Amino acid sequence: MASSPAVPTRSSTQEALRFRFDRGLDSVTQQDSPPPQLPDGRATPAPDIRSQAALERLLGANDLGRLVDAAIRPAIDDPGLLLPGRFADALQMAQASLRRSLAGRRSDGGRRERRLRQAVSVLEEQEALLALLWTYRHALYQG
Whether 10 and 17 have beta carbons less than 8 Å apart is answered as yes
pLDDT band for position 67 (cuts 50, 70, 90): confident
Q: Can you tell me the distance from the alpha carbon of 106 to that of 116, in angstroms, rounded to the nearest whole number? A: 12
95, part of any domain: yes
Q: How many domains are contained in the chain?
A: 1
113, part of any domain: yes
Catalogue the E-assigned strands of 25-122: 27-29
Question: Distances in Å between the alpha carbon of 142 and those of 43, 44, 121, 138?
Answer: 25, 26, 32, 6
16, part of any domain: no
Q: What is the DSSP letter of 17?
A: E
Partnered with residue 17 across adjacent β-strands are 10, 28
12, part of any domain: no
Q: Can you tell me the distance from the alpha carbon of 31 to that of 124, in angstroms, rounded to the nearest whole number? A: 48
Question: Distances in Å between the alpha carbon of 138 and those of 100, 129, 131, 135?
Answer: 33, 14, 11, 5
41, part of any domain: no
3-58: pLDDT as tens digits: 555 555 544 444 455 555 566 666 667 777 777 777 676 666 666 666 667 666 76
Whether 115 and 101 have beta carbons less than 8 Å apart is answered as no
This prediction has a pTM of 0.46
25, part of any domain: no
87-116: pLDDT as tens digits: 889 889 999 999 998 888 777 778 888 888
**112: containing domain:** 81-142
1, part of any domain: no
